[in-house]
Amino acid sequence: MTCPFTEEDIAHSKALLSSSVPLRQRATGGEGEEECATRLHHVCHCLWQMIRFAHLAMKGRPFRAAQWGLNCGRLQELLEDPGGVQAWWKVFEPILIAEDWVALEGRCRDYGKFFGLPQPDDVFVNRE
């Protein structure tokens, strides 16, 4: 697939992802324990969920369309909307309409590669 992002889009998003500043802190249940999740953590979570939902649909499970869409929108927001609608919904919508889960998983993985993100492992992807 041809990358739908400009070099400037990718550079800007990678700069955002390199920050170690947490987006939020929240209690985890223990005494004084806190979770500090960076933008990179949130971006990987969204992308991995998108890959996981496509993969499960490919295996015959019901497609979790609402969850997939929420994660895609959140990912786009966290990366500050590189490429705009042309790089996001115009790319994914035809694949979603066709219910081509193989292509959807592949395209999501491509997006991770464009931004230099790690790919999820098989245990995560196959988690019901």
Task: Report if residue 68 sits inside a domain.
Answer: yes
CA distance 75 to 6: 17
Q: What pLDDT shows up at residue 22?
A: 77
Task: Report if residue 2 sits inside a domain.
Answer: no
The answer to pTM > 0.85 is yes
Q: What pLDDT shows up at residue 100?
A: 98
Count the helix, strand and coil residues of the chain and give each as a percent rounded to the nearest 5.
60, 10, 30
Task: Report if residue 65 sits inside a domain.
Answer: yes
**Contact of 52 with 127, CB cutoff 8 Å:** yes
Task: Report if residue 1 sits inside a domain.
Answer: no
Task: Report if residue 118 sits inside a domain.
Answer: yes
Domain that holds residue 70: 7-125
**Contact of 43 with 112, CB cutoff 8 Å:** no
Task: Report if residue 67 sits inside a domain.
Answer: yes
Task: Report if residue 111 sits inside a domain.
Answer: yes
pLDDT in tens, 42-99: 999 999 999 999 999 999 999 999 999 999 999 999 999 999 999 999 999 999 999 9
Task: Report if residue 107 sits inside a domain.
Answer: yes
pLDDT in tens, 11-53: 999 999 998 877 765 555 555 555 568 899 999 999 999 999 9
Q: What pLDDT shows up at residue 20?
A: 81
Q: What pLDDT shows up at residue 70?
A: 97
Strands (E), the chain: 22-27, 34-38
Number of domains in the chain: 1
CA distance 1 to 38: 29
